[in-house]
Each structure stands twice: as structure tokens, then as C-alpha cells.
Amino acid sequence: MPYPDSFTTPDGLRLYTRLWNPPGSPQAHVVLIHGYGDHCGRYGELAQALNDAGLAVHSYDQRGFGRSDGRRAYVADYRVLLDDLDLFLSHIQPDVQETPVFLLGQSFGGLIAVRYAQTRQPRFSGLMLCSPFLGFSESIPKLLLVLGPYIAKVAPWFPVSQVAPDGLSHRPDVVEEGAADPLSYHGHVHARTGSQMQQAIADAFRDAVRLALPLYIVHGSEDRIVPLSGSRRFFDAYAGPDKTLQVCEGGYHELWHDLDANAVLQGICAWIHRRL
């Protein structure tokens, strides 16, 4: 059962949070960062699996997404999202205390998790990335990626791309529910947001050798939204000795909502338990 709460940022935004607690005392805590256009309310199945494994799950709607305040789906500076995560970790510290903490990011949330770990050097017990946004789909024209930062300066709100919901899962019910979800963002990615995504990806690869946390990446081989190639490149560049790349053959973007969901969830839980 998720328990709603909120915290307030220095610029006055109220960010909505959720806590899924297992029965009894949790063996560890998982901080979950949702993807672009997404919100934490869509992660109930994932949270339940982690709860069943004795793990507490803490999440929040990032600014501009879900129930949280902020310009809708607009990222003026991705580093502000790292500051928000700082605040969230302080917010949940009374619940966490000395228990192990793992950071888990989905898609764009995976990119934010990477940059947070690289810039803050936190004492997490592990970093887990599900379909992390570490590269752009081949469907996006290369010229647009070249011109994107310039467009962002003169027309930051200019629409540059859009995510097709049929790439989320093989399951029609997941696609339909995602497309109809009023808390999800279904519009175009703005030029400024796209340029910040580009910057964050470049920074993540530049600093890949700076991080040595235990790393677990799971990515679908048929992900049409975020390519597997980005995860492979990051895995190869990652300096830490404890790293795992799990490729789900045929998998789409939201692997805990896809055909091999049970195997994906069991893999995540098993990886965590081996590091407690």
C-alpha cells in the first residue's frame, strides 16, 4: 500500500511522493526515479515485487510530471533534478537511517540516477538502471541532434520529438492504459528539454570512469524508445568491477510491464539480495 506525502523545493514547488513498505522491517530501501513523461503511480507492480522481497520503495513525481508542481514536462536544467533528488533523500532519511539504500532509475530516470551518483558520490549499496536513456533512438534525425542545442537557445519551447506509446510494451493493455493516463505526459519533447537530455548523456559518458558503485543494467533488445546500444556503451566504459548487463531478448521499454516481467523483477530482487 503506497503512502502519499510531499516535500517542497527551494523555489516553492511541491513534489508528490510515495512509499511502498513491506511487512515488518525492510532489509533495504530502494529509491526509484521514474522516466520522462511518467510518474511514480505507474510503478505499483515493480514496488509490490520489491516489497515481497522485503524491500521498501521510495519514489516521487519529478518536477513537471505527475502530481508534482512545475512547468509540464519541461527541463530547463537537468542539474536541478539532481538537487531535487538531494532533497528527497533528506526527506526520507528518518525512514532509511542506517539501512542499505539502492538507487533505481527507469529510462530518463536512469540517466538522472547516473548523473546523481557521478556528481554526489553517494554511499549507495548499488545503482540499478532499467532501459536507461543513454542514447537517442535512430528514428531521431541526426541533423536535429546537431541543431538541437541551437534551437533550444532561440526557441526553447519548440517541439522536436514525441514518444510513441506502442513502444512501451508488447501488452496492449499497458499501451492503452499508458496512453489514457491523465497523469502521464503525452505531448512533444521541447527543444530545451531535448538539449538538456543531450547534455546529461554527454556528461554521463565523460564521467563514466568516476563511479565504482555496483551496477546493474537491464535493457530490452527491441527497445524502440531508448536503444540498447547506449547501455552497452556505458557498461563498457563503466570503471567499477562489479557490473552486470542483463539483455532481455525481444523486450520493449517498460520491462516490468512486458512479457518477461517476472524474470526481470526476480533478477532485480536477486541482484539486490546478493549485495546485502
Catalytic residue positions?
107, 223, 253
Q: Are 45 and 261 in contact (CB under 8 A)?
A: yes
Nearest CA among 102, 126, 100, 123 for reference residue 238? 126
Q: How far apart are CA 102 and CA 93, in angstroms?
A: 13
Phi, psi torsion values for 71, nearest 5 degrees: -60, 130
Burial of 142 (0-12, 13-18, 19+ CB in 10 A): exposed
Locate 167 and state its grid cell.
Answer: 513502444
Supply angle C-alpha 159, 163, 167, rounded to 5: 165
Q: How far apart are CA 161 and CA 153, in angstroms?
A: 17
Spatial neighbors of 6 by CB under 8 A, at least 6 apart, are 14, 15, 16, 17
Q: How far apart are CA 110 and CA 54, in angstroms?
A: 23
Burial of 162 (0-12, 13-18, 19+ CB in 10 A): exposed
Helix, strand, coil fractions of the chain, as percent rounded to 5 = 40, 20, 40
